[in-house]
Structure 1
């Protein structure tokens, strides 16, 4: 049985926003990856794609792999990717040591291309 998850896409000015809520795991990571790759393809070169995972309650390594695949696609398409993550997502990224801000990956950069833009609220 698939884990409960919902995806939404909207435009805020020149930014395309993909909002994900629920649980991301092996049962739905391919759908997550397809949604992100579709959003990358629909985002104009030089514009920003925001991946809002602030409503994600569960996030496993398969979801992280999908996020990294989308980051690679965004880099190739010259689309800036910005991640807003829930504490759950942030913990997985930290525990696994995923470097989402590597210069060669092209993920999560400020407009000046220097510092990572990851927004992870503190755990309560």
Structure 2
């Protein structure tokens, strides 16, 4: 079951992909809502989750923790979790925390996927 859209997160399924779109500030105050969406997205086996961070303005360690936990869960279930990110500051954050290798960002969604929901 997909959680309802909340200010920082919305989930949509398109073909084999589950896209979790994040926007605004991802911090201690919003990490719980993000975790709800990522928990739902990684609940099944062999999922292919794309976390779209292109609408994020701020991202702290609370968001990184939630991403790491969701990726672990996806991999344990035989799936994967990838991020879509075009902001240099998020790439620097991933690099500074040693997570760039774990989350090599895609610049855009895979071909054929609509860019963002309205």
SS in 1 for 2:39: helix
- Counterpart of 1:119 in structure 2 is 106
SS in 2 for 1:27: coil
The yes-or-no answer on 1:57 pairing with 2:57 is yes
The residue aligned with 1:20 is: 22
How many Å separate the matches in 1 of 2:85 and 2:47?
A: 20
**Unmatched tracts of structure 1, length 5 or more:** 102-107, 109-116
- How many Å apart are 1:24 and its aligned residue? 0.2
Give yes or no for the alignment of 1:66 onto 2:66. yes
Q: Deviations over 1:9-40 (max 9, x none)?
A: 11221111111111101111122112101111
Q: What's the offset of the Cα at 1:86? A: 4.0
Structure 1 residues 20, 81: CA separation in 2 closer, same or farther (over 3 Å shift)? same
Q: State the TM-score, normalized to the length of structure 1.
A: 0.71
Q: TM-score, normalised by structure 2?
A: 0.74
For residue 91 of structure 1, report the CA deviation from its aligned partner: 2.1
Distance 1:89 1:29, change over 3 A: same
Instruction: Give the root-mean-square deviation of aligned CA atoms.
Output: 2.2
1:32-69 C-alpha deviation (Å, 9 max, x unpaired): 1121011111x4x3341111111111000111011101
Native 8 Å contact 2:46 2:74 kept in 1: no
Deviation at 1:89, TM superposition (A): 2.4
Change in Cα spacing, 1:35 to 1:79, as seen in structure 2 (3 Å) is same
